[in-house]
Structure 1
């Protein structure tokens, strides 16, 4: 399920791409990735899992599905990138108490130290850089 991709940039410890169709698959791939890159557990792993899950859920729910899923471990971070076929940028939904959705984008922005949305021919790319504490 996980395919290693070649990366010339030496600052990245590990890079993986996988084909995912839903949030459950994203969490499975992300857990395996985190296990490969080192002992990342507890709230730090949960933050990365939540960001991956929410970005994939948003792509499925609002943009017709995921066209690319990528995880990159760098010094003190994991970057989650999800691409889809819609050029419409994510936006914060106005929730009402009876609506079960609308908090995902806000959570991604709270958990990530940086979020970038870029359009490209045929869709967009959303990348979230999730900080990890330094290894002790």
Structure 2
């Protein structure tokens, strides 16, 4: 399958997105925007935008560095928004010096760490990991 499958249900049931291509990152952002827009109450626009950026960076990192496929789950609590991204790599994310001239990246993990209130990395049995990124709602 080349793309993303979006499985949607009424909120607050988590939204699940599966992707395996660079094009799936856009669909992950669309799903995150729809997720926040359909919450009651709707999060503050700045919080929703920060959540969208975190989702985008996590999906991008999973495609680029995590084995190419990922599963994204979006959760909302009374005071939090959480994105959980599972990929095929057991390697933890690493900070690197951002490439200011060549455009090869290096900004994503810095942004994720800056925008989130809590980050946790859980290794899967065998191979793979899940990164849980939580933001205040």
Q: TM bucket by the smaller chain?
A: 0.7 to 0.9
Shift of 1:13: 4.0
Partner of 2:35: 33
The superposition leaves residues 73-120 of structure 1 with CA deviations (integer Å, 9 ceiling, x where unpaired) of 012111001000000000101234314210110100111000011111
Q: What secondary structure is seen at the aligned counterpart in 1 of 2:51?
A: helix
Shift of 1:41: 4.3
Q: Give the Cα separation in 2 of the matches to 1:30 and 1:93.
A: 26
Structure 1: which 4+ aligned runs deviate by more than 6 Å?
none
Which runs of structure 2 are paired with 1:1-136 in the superposition (5 Å)?
Answer: 1-4=6-9, 13-21=12-20, 22-38=24-40, 39-100=42-103, 101-120=105-124, 121-132=126-137
Gaps of 5+ in 1: 6-11
Gaps of 5+ in 2: 1-5
Partner of 1:8: none
The superposition leaves residues 46-74 of structure 1 with CA deviations (integer Å, 9 ceiling, x where unpaired) of 00000000000000111122331100001
Instruction: Give me the CA root mean square deviation.
Output: 1.9
